[in-house]
Amino acid sequence: MRIIISPAKKMKVDEDTLAYESLPVFLDDTARIMKWIKALNLEEAKALWGCNEKLAKQNYERFQKMRLDAGLTPAILSYEGIQYQYMAPTVFEDAMLSYVQEHLRILSGFYGVLKPMDGVTPYRLEMQAKTDIDGVEGMYDFWGSRLYEEVQGLHASRVIVNLASKEYSKCIEPYLQPEDRFITCIFGELSGGKVVQKGTYAKMARGEMVRFMAENRLEEPEGMREFRGLGYRFAETLSTEKEYVFIK
């Protein structure tokens, strides 16, 4: 079983808590992306990132000084978004870290696919960014089927648990094969008979779900039905083989 999650825009450097174990598998491609971004001027970079002046300057300077082989932080500790705060990997026991290293994959516009203990440096690049790298427009086309192939690999179960946002799951779903089982988790509330998913709460629950799976060393997706984090409960009548719905 593989678990996929999104990255976060906010990142930090932490070389003290844990040492990284490996370098990202697509590092040569990351170097190509980095070279392209470094060649942009500040206004072009700001348009690429769709952010304010302060963030644009911060990230522009980051890229100008960026190295992919030094000052690295394990990916699971580098991202600081809501999902990662609720996952709380800094207090994972060794067995939980081993579990996520085997099962969890972080999707990234810049790095492609990351194992939790891959060493990364702070960057800014969303999967839906409008790029033109070596004549290939957009990150979805740049990565193509390679992210799916890396996530699925030779994994025997052919099960992918989707805890990623639509922006990131879109780089996996088009390449699914008939033998694959792709399960998307929905965390929502009932309103007018419909399931409504609120972004912030969904991110919180995705982080809690990763923690739950790691604590319980889940090897089958059915075990997720016992999740009780943040007041959510598995809604069997609203769920299908392809969607596990959790209602608060």
For 88, the token pair is 């709380």
Report helix, strand or coil for 72.
coil
Per-residue pLDDT for 226 more than 90?
yes
> How many CB atoms neighbour CB 128 within 10 A?
15
What is the domain partition of the chain in residue ranges? 2-6+11-247
pLDDT in tens, 44-86: 999 999 999 999 999 999 999 999 999 999 999 999 999 999 9
pLDDT of residue 10: 93
Residue type, 224: M
- Phi-psi label, residue 195: left if phi above 0, alpha if psi -120 to 50, beta otherwise: beta
Confidence label for 153 from pLDDT (cuts 50, 70 and 90): confident
Contacts of 32 (CB under 8 A, 6+ apart): 133, 134
Rounded Cα–Cα distance for residues 11 and 32 (Å): 21
Distances (CA, A) of 32 to 57, 106, 140, 191, 236: 21, 20, 15, 46, 46
What secondary structure does DSSP assign to 118-185, as a single string? BEE------TT---EETTEESHHHHHTTHHHHHHHTT-TT-EEEEES-HHHHTTTGGG--TT-EEEEE
Closest by CA position to 15, among listed 124, 123, 119, 93: 119
Distance CA 231, CA 248 (A): 6
The model's pLDDT over 102-130, given as tens digits with 9 standing for 90+, comes to 999 999 999 999 999 999 999 999 999 99
